[in-house]
Amino acid sequence: MKVILISGKHGASRSIELGRWSRALLSFCCLGFPLGMMAIGYLAGQGSEASALRGATLDTIQEGLDQQTIGLEALQDKAELKLQALTINLAELQARMTRLDALGEHLTAMAELGDGEFDFSQPPAMGGPLAGEYSVDFSSVDLAGEVSSFEARLDNREEQLGILESLFHNQKLADEAWLSGQPVAKGWVSSGYGLRSDPFTGRKAMHNGIDFATREGSQVLAVAAGVVTWTGRESGYGNLVEVSHGDGFVTRYSHNKQNLVSPGDLVRKGEPIALVGTTGRSTGAHVHYEVYKHGRSVDPSSYVRRTRR
């Protein structure tokens, strides 16, 4: 291959004969080098694009992980709030159960079931043969629903026990107001109700009560619950206590050595209200016991023979 070089200044020309290796080097410089540079640029561009694509993909994945982390934290906070609410609700139910146990023990005492039939201080006894084993999926259990259902049953039980307590209380009040028994723990009837010979004059006279002879200083007991309406010294009666029991019933206890109550006091059945004495028209230590129904004196004997309801 011959290359002719022409000088622009002098117009002279010069020819150069190129060999095979020279031609190859010249071809490489004119064609191969530019093409190589283009290839290198292309490959560099491809690598940069792939790197950018990988970076974008990693950013997307990281963003997704961040969102999942935020979602998990929100779920954890929500679960903790629900757990706190269930804990508070459970504490309230336990407090109510404690009150129901106390109410049950109170009703057991009122019903006089103290031999172990109902022991609210111990958990209920349960048992039975093994009927099979079952696997429970606790993830599907609605704890809030179960607590709500238990609370509804507890409300119902609480209401029933309240009604039962009211019935017992009313029955207890009725028993307390029921006139029965004698006004002394130990004693004997020394004089009955009706006409008799007066112990001081010997003439026939009406005796409006029953006399119970007993040891001086022993307790005089209220035969029923009521309100003390009068206490003091009465001519012929000595120291006297009068108690109103409602439904028109009034009882009187006289010849007392000492009165232990005052007007307006509430007394329960069997409560001491005086001490046996000999004040007033009396020949010895005894209690003169009278019963009035709607203002009229009646024979106390039928009430003495009464038993508790």
Q: Which of 170, 175, 181 lies closest to 251 in space, CA to CA?
A: 181
Q: Would you tell me which CATH number, out of the four given (3.40.50.620, 2.70.70.10, 1.10.10.60, 2.30.30.40), belongs to the domain 188-304?
A: 2.70.70.10
Using alpha carbons, select from 22, 15, 26, 19 the residue that is nearest to residue 6. 15
The secondary structure of residue 138, as a DSSP letter, is G
Alpha-carbon distance values, 299 to 193, 206, 228, 238 (Å): 6, 12, 21, 21
Looking at residue 112, its amino acid is E
- Tell me the pLDDT of the chain (309 aa) as tens digits: 555 555 555 555 566 565 666 666 666 566 666 666 676 666 666 666 666 667 677 778 878 787 888 888 888 878 777 777 777 777 777 777 776 767 666 666 666 655 555 555 555 555 666 655 555 454 555 667 767 777 777 776 677 666 666 666 666 667 787 899 999 999 999 999 999 988 888 889 999 999 999 999 999 999 999 999 999 999 999 999 999 998 889 999 999 999 999 999 999 999 999 999 999 999 999 999 999 999 999 999 999 988 665
Strand ranges for the chain from DSSP E: 2-6, 13-17, 188-191, 194-197, 204-207, 210-213, 219-221, 226-234, 238-246, 249-259, 266-267, 272-276, 286-293, 296-298
Q: What is the pLDDT of residue 62?
A: 79
Total-model pTM = 0.51
- Please name the residue that has the structure tokens 């048992």: 127
Q: What local confidence, expressed as pLDDT, does residue 3 receive?
A: 53
Query: Are 148 and 178 in contact, with CB atoms under 8 Å apart?
Result: no
Q: What is the pLDDT of residue 194?
A: 92
> Which region holds residue 255: left if phi is over 0, alpha if psi is between -120 and 50, else beta?
left
Residue bearing tokens 């009406």: 206
The one-letter code for the residue type at 307 is T
Strands (E), 109-237: 188-191, 194-197, 204-207, 210-213, 219-221, 226-234
Model pLDDT, residue 214: 95
Cβ–Cβ under 8 Å, residues 220 and 287: yes
